[in-house]
Amino acid sequence: MKGHWYCALAAAGLLLSAGAFAQEPVVGAKDPEALFHSSDPKLDANKQVVYHIFKDILEGGNLEAIDKYLTERYIQHNPNIPSGHTGLKKMLSMVKHKPVARNKLAAQVVSVVAEGDFVVVGAVQQLPDPRSPGRTYTTTHFDMWRMKDGKADEHWDEAALGPPPGAPPSAP
């Protein structure tokens, strides 16, 4: 019986101290643009397409660049974003986003891996800490594209279904 109390106390101690075992913060690369290059010409070209998707479309708000960097059939596996050029342009134009032309990426890129027709980008994602209201923590957001004929043909990420663009936030 005495052994059960020790186990219960040890388990309670671990649960209460779980916050003390905090993760290391995720940090972006000092030179993220360098990650979008490869000595292999095909992989370099694929990485550059993804670089311009980030820089020109997602950060710069250049909707015309969609035609340049995404195939016409562009398949989107994120449940919040439509496939194809028309739906994507409409959705991005609805997002309250002030486009800014930059020479460098604003995204805090951690890694860029290219293999065959795929490019995967890991970037810092800062989220509200559900255990400590008013505080945030970092984790890694992943995007993966499949390239076809020099353009992005498919996209995946870990996004979950959310409210439609422009909808008021739901109560917790």
Phi and psi, residue 79, nearest 5°: -70, -5
Spell out the domains of the chain, with CATH numbers in brackets.
25-157 (3.10.450.50)
45-101 residue pLDDT tens: 999 999 999 999 988 889 999 999 999 999 999 888 889 999 888 888 887 666 666
- For the chain, the average pLDDT equals 85
129-139 residue pLDDT tens: 998 899 999 99
| DSSP of 58-123 | IIT--TTHHHHHEEEEEEE-STTS-SSHHHHHHHHHHS-------SS--S-EEEEEEETTEEEEEE
Separation in Å, CA 28 to CA 24, 128, 156, 162 = 13, 19, 21, 26
